[in-house]
Amino acid sequence: MNLYERIPNNVNLSGDMKLQRALEKWLPNFLDWWREMGPDGFQEKDVWLRTAIDVGSEGWAHFDYVKMPDYRWGIFLEPAEPDAKVGFGDNYGRPAYQEVPGEFRNSLRRIIVTQGDTEPASVEQQRELGKTCPSLYDLRNLFQVNVEEGRHLWAMVYLLHGYFGRDGRDEAEALLERRSGNPDKPRILEAFNQPCDDWLNFFAFTMFTDRDGKYQLSALAESGFEPLARTCRFMLTEEAHHMFVGDTGLGRVVKRTAQLMKQGDVKELGGIPLDIVQKYINFWFSYSLDLFGGEISSNSADFFAAGLKGRYKEDQYEDHVIADDQFTMVTVEGEQLKERQVPLRNALNEVLRGEYVRDCEKGLARWNKILTEEGLLERLYLPSTLFHRHVGEYAGHDFDIASKLITKEEFERRKDEWLPTMDDREYVRSLMKPVTEPGKIANWIAPPAAGIKGLPFEFEYVKL
């Protein structure tokens, strides 16, 4: 593969002139979008970035200084498996789909567009953050995440152009036209319309919302539509770094807060109090739970039956058809929580959400370990999965963070205990002053345990 091709790829793009031309036509539009909506104020700076150049587990990435608009956004799919089969659903065991099956065309396009829409949305949400970076190391990580979300957009646009003809091309254009938080042309999913305008938001976003991405991509990596499965498998490789940024970023905030708690009043000392960290967790965790879709969902059943979207690590299960299985779901009936049996296929959003919650709990355990190591008894936790939901079974009802059904009035009265208030947000924003000297770090966060790829923290990750 040639890094200096116009569109680096491992899909033999030059062997498909029509597709190559279509993507080369989309490229300048993408670059216009990137310049308009990508990181504001840093487009001409040299950033120490990794660029995907291959999909092998070794040496898939190349590190160098790059100006972001010159980043080699490429198209990389994991190698095809010979004799790939549909791994679940009604067509279990049949040959995998190499083209879009006509009867699933609309569903598949919707899945790809919805995933694709999240990628540029997050870049838009984060475009102002560079101006308030806590260190050059963090600034570089932000930009790494941003350019890779751009590449993930490319990954989905490749599928739209390559497999959906005219309407795929229209959808690819529309992906560059919607804007995060714009009331007239918002992004598709609500978490991607929420502002992400301070670094505590950014770390919570990459911890919780990028982690939703991991689970969606994992379910799509099982897809019987081979090109989608192979694309998502490689995206997961990059996604791991995004979650690392969020997980360790919050961990470093917790560490610094713990240090300051032992010295005195955290706010007076210029740190972020633990209860504000907790509220940000509550906010982003609950919005990210919504991204999995309704608890009881005919779409999830249809996607599974069709072999389009599987479960997380489908291999861990014996039965890949689950035609008659039931799932016990907590539902709200007559202002009470009741358990109800629903067909498992209709509960697959909830099954995937359960995997996600267990993964998030591990993050909480890591942060609590930091508190223990600092000699503190305070603990962070995940709120109930029923709390503050806007999608699915629990939307339209009010719960406290311990799953208790409460009245709307009580929720309104108490929500400032659980969710960031205007004052909290303003306080956090007041701490966000850029620190751009190599080796220096803002007061509200601890430095990382190590730099990037064996380089020291003091390295000049971005040349300003």
Q: Nearest distance from residue 239's CB to Fe ion, in Å?
A: 5
Q: Nearest distance from residue 152's CB to Fe ion, in Å?
A: 4
Q: Nearest distance from residue 150's CB to Fe ion, in Å?
A: 9
Q: Judged by CB, which is closer to Fe ion: 109, or 242?
A: 242
242 binds Fe ion (CB under 5 A): yes
Q: Nearest distance from residue 217's CB to Fe ion, in Å?
A: 8
Cα-only R_g, the chain: 22
210 binds Fe ion (CB under 5 A): yes
Residue by residue, DSSP assigns 165-215 as: HHHHHHHHHHHTT--TT-SSS--SSGGGGS---SHHHHHHIIIIIHHHHHH
Q: Judged by CB, which is closer to Fe ion: 117, or 295?
A: 117
Q: Judged by CB, which is closer to Fe ion: 138, or 424?
A: 138
Q: In sequence order, which residues have a C-beta less than 8 Å from that of residue 120 and are 6 or more positions away?
A: 33, 37, 149, 150, 153, 175, 176
233 binds Fe ion (CB under 5 A): no
The interface with Fe ion within residues 379-398 (CB under 5 A) comprises none
Pick the stretch among 52-60, 77-85, 238-246, 261-269 that binds Fe ion (CB under 5 A).
238-246
Q: Nearest distance from residue 175's CB to Fe ion, in Å?
A: 13
Q: Judged by CB, which is closer to Fe ion: 256, or 309?
A: 309
Q: Judged by CB, which is closer to Fe ion: 191, or 419?
A: 191
Residue with the two structure tokens 């267990």: 358
Residue 204 CA: distances (Å) to CA of 191, 200, 382:
12, 6, 12
Structure tokens given for 316: 């861990």
Q: Judged by CB, which is closer to Fe ion: 71, or 97?
A: 71
How far from the centroid of its chain's Cα atoms is residue 386's Cα? 21
Residues, the chain: 464
Q: Nearest distance from residue 433's CB to Fe ion, in Å?
A: 26
Q: Judged by CB, which is closer to Fe ion: 50, or 242?
A: 242
The interface with Fe ion within residues 109-168 (CB under 5 A) comprises 119, 149, 152
Q: Within 10 Å of residue 318's Cβ, how many Cβ atoms?
A: 5
Q: In sequence order, which residues have a C-beta less than 8 Å from that of residue 14 and are 6 or more positions away?
A: 5, 20
Pick the stretch among 190-198, 203-211, 270-278, 359-367 that binds Fe ion (CB under 5 A).
203-211
Q: Judged by CB, which is closer to Fe ion: 132, or 231?
A: 231
Pick the stretch among 155-163, 231-239, 282-290, 294-302 that binds Fe ion (CB under 5 A).
231-239
Contact 337, 410 (CB under 8 A): no
Pick the stretch among 66-74, 236-244, 265-273, 393-401 that binds Fe ion (CB under 5 A).
236-244
Q: Judged by CB, which is closer to Fe ion: 152, or 345?
A: 152
Between vectors from CA 269 to CA 267 and to CA 273, what angle results, nearest 5°?
A: 35
Among 153, 128, 135, 131, residue whose Cα is nearest residue 238: 153
Q: Nearest distance from residue 205's CB to Fe ion, in Å?
A: 9
How far from the centroid of its chain's Cα atoms is residue 388's Cα? 19
Residues that contact Fe ion, how many (by CB under 5 A): 6
Contact 393, 332 (CB under 8 A): yes
The H-or-E segment that residue 361 falls in is helix 348-373
Q: Nearest distance from residue 210's CB to Fe ion, in Å?
A: 4
Amino acid identity, position 370: I
Q: Nearest distance from residue 401's CB to Fe ion, in Å?
A: 27
Pick the stretch among 153-161, 178-186, 187-195, 241-249 that binds Fe ion (CB under 5 A).
241-249
Pick the stretch among 64-72, 202-210, 440-448, 455-463 that binds Fe ion (CB under 5 A).
202-210
Q: Judged by CB, which is closer to Fe ion: 242, or 320?
A: 242
Q: Nearest distance from residue 415's CB to Fe ion, in Å?
A: 29
Q: Within 10 Å of residue 269's Cβ, how many Cβ atoms?
A: 15
Q: In sequence order, which residues have a C-beta less than 8 Å from that of residue 216 and are 6 or more positions away?
A: 115, 291, 292, 352
Structure tokens given for 295: 């608890």
Q: Which residues bind Fe ion (CB under 5 A)?
A: 119, 149, 152, 210, 239, 242
